[in-house]
Structure 1
């Protein structure tokens, strides 16, 4: 509903905007694919909530309206001479492996104190939004992010000191994902931690 409400205005040839909810709903229900263009090289789809609100929000809108599940694509146009289109799940996996679950990124965030800890927790929030709205996150990516965050004693100690609220939010989000069935881990070591937390 949030995506539909935010997207339901059209601009005519004279530049005037008007509400066009019915036309939007008709177009959304008949869509067979959705492409989101990213042209900012300094960001990725797990760095801000806007990506999930828009890309996954569209998928949630289609589901709400009863349309067929469309193909979701993330178009990387950071190099205009060589754009790359990837399936949304593929792009999420690429970003999770290259940045979010990369130990160097988390170590770098530790140099930023309070704000770095907040970024670590926010990255999981963004990953969770893609899972919730578009079912676009396979469980093994949550396993990777769990290993890269709560699986690191030094990172947990850092977050405890620099931003205990972010650490609590990180733990709560992993638990909520598990309880909602959005993340079913096959890793006994992780499952044991979640059972202890219940």
Structure 2
């Protein structure tokens, strides 16, 4: 009942060592609170994320603004992507997990815009070099990324063009075939 009168959800972050796309805890409780209020009230509360990593220059952004900031600063940053690639299997898994977390944020708090899904797809699923890297080091990560992007389309969270949907479906089926072919300890080709 108290949730039906809630107007604002706020989360403060006091470090830039991690961000909203690093941990599912963040969207579980902050995004979950937003979803719960929406369920009781019929509309989402305003949602803010405070950045007090520099106490002399604190900032407050909406959850949507913070998601855009994190996407531009890290998620789509070529240097970050290269750093993940240096970690092979683990880096691929971390990228896959980040896509899960972005999806979780959108499912609970509706913070992703179509361009963000589009960029995730282009950077991590459609890029031929990334596909080859994922297939070599952790094909399950590529399978999960494409599956999550397709789920976003299916659930109406992303209004992707039909061409994009078909490309993702093809990648998903290709990687699924590779994984099935290599069951039993075979090496991915």
Report TM bin, short chain: 0.7 to 0.9
The gaps in structure 1 that reach 5 residues or longer are 1-24
Q: RMSD across aligned C-alpha pairs, in angstroms?
A: 1.7
1:126-162: per-residue Cα shift (whole Å, max 9, x none)?
Answer: 1101111111211111111111111321211111111
SS of residue in 1 equivalent to 2:126: coil
Summarize deviations over 1:106-144 as a string: whole Å, max 9, x none: 111010011100111111111101111111211111111
* Cα separation, 2, equivalents of 1:113 and 1:144: 22
Query: TM-score when scaled to structure 1?
Result: 0.81
Number of residues paired by the alignment? 172
Contact preservation (8 Å) 1:103, 1:148: no
Q: 2:136 aligns with which of 161, 177, 181?
A: 161
Mapped partners of 1:101, 1:71: distance in 2? 26
Q: Secondary structure at the match of 1:37?
A: strand
Corresponding residue of 1:137: 112
Aligned residue in 2 for 1:91: 66
Contact 1:29 1:68 in 2 (8 A): no
1:59 corresponds to 2:34: yes
Pairwise mapping of residues 169-188 of structure 1 onto structure 2 (< 5 A)?
169-186=144-161
How far apart, CA to CA, are the structure 1 residues paired with 2:99 and 2:114?
13
